Amino acid sequence: MAYSLRALADYLPTVGMPCTLHGDAERQVDGVATLEDAEPSEISFLANPKYEKALETTSAGAVIVSNDQPIPDRLTVLRAADPYAAITAVMVHIYGYRRHGKTEIGDRAVIHPSAVIGENANIHHGVTVSANVTIGKNVVLYPGVYIAEDSRLGDDCVLYPNVVIYDGCILGNRVSIHAGTVIGEDGLGYAPIGETWHKIPQIGIVEIGDDVEIGANCAIDRATLGRTVIAKGTKFSNLVTIGHGTKIGEHCMFVAQVGIAGSVNVGKHVTMAGKVGVAGHLTIGDNAQIGAMSGLMKDVPPGVAVLGSPATPIKNALRSFSLVERLPNLHKQVKQLEAQVEALQRAVDARADEKQ
């Protein structure tokens, strides 16, 4: 479906993004693309000045830019305070979210008689729903999903193929979990007795809040006692691992291969880039930012950005990295200085011998 730029300019303020239109208001667009790839029937955006030169060559029918961005005269633009947020709203308006084909309840799904299934459930073939499970309205369960005893799913949840929910776990409303993820498996709980490890029963659960999205092949351990918690609005990429008893605050963002040990407390709106590792029993404050491949060995205060392994405040880490880059030259200079010192020492020794 195509939309006029006038229609998009009228739509954006309705979702809290005032904008101004400059150029051909009647131009039609039916898709979104990058500045490099966009065609005249598509709209693009510029949010990062790094790509500013692409404005000169783009074929996009229109571009969303910031309010103060210089533009070529030929371009039709929508100006908004936050172009990235505005293009996101446009993408939702044009494309919507992934649509799930309606199958109702497949005849090869296995559903225990005691399970409670909400209205408009879409349960595919090969799904297993165990005893005393409660599933909310409009839930979509793709093939291979397994939901163990006493678990609860809220309304509008989507579980993609081969997601496993262990017993007793709780999912809020509008939770999306991508293929291959496991929720509520046993945590790494073992007691050392002599030279052997004795398994500690993991009798807690996992609780996931509303509007959480979890990527593919993640693993969230159940608590030994109590709950492992992923609070509302948090988003995980793929291959994220959360240890038992850890509590993740609201609206966090974890990129792929983040690994958090047990009993960690993570505040609200914390961002962790790829391959971050967090030792157990730490506290990470609200709005902290953890750079890629960082290793956390101590608490991080609220609002602090850290980087490196072990992680330090980002300015200190960048200074350390710059020193590492200079090490080969510093090593060469030290060798030269050592040679000069040796030469001077030989000269001093020779002069002393002459005086004797």
Assign residue 149 a region (left: φ > 0; alpha: ψ between -120 and 50; beta: otherwise).
beta
Which one from 125, 244, 251, 269 is the annotated catalytic residue?
244
**φ/ψ (deg, to 5) at 166:** -70, 170
What is the distance between the alpha carbons of residues 116 and 131, in angstroms, rounded to a whole number? 9
- Give the separation between CA 32 and CA 2, rounded to whole angstroms: 11
Query: Does the annotation count 331 as an active-site position?
Result: no
CA distance 262 to 247: 9
Burial code (b: 16+ CB inside 10 Å, e: under 16) for 97-111 equals eeeeeebebbeebeb
Other beta carbons within 10 angstroms of residue 42's beta carbon come to 19
Contact at 8 Å (CB) between 155 and 173? Answer: yes
Q: Which helix (H) or strand (E) holds 312?
A: strand 312-313
Judge whether 139 and 156 are in contact, CB under 8 Å: yes
Residues assigned a catalytic role: 244
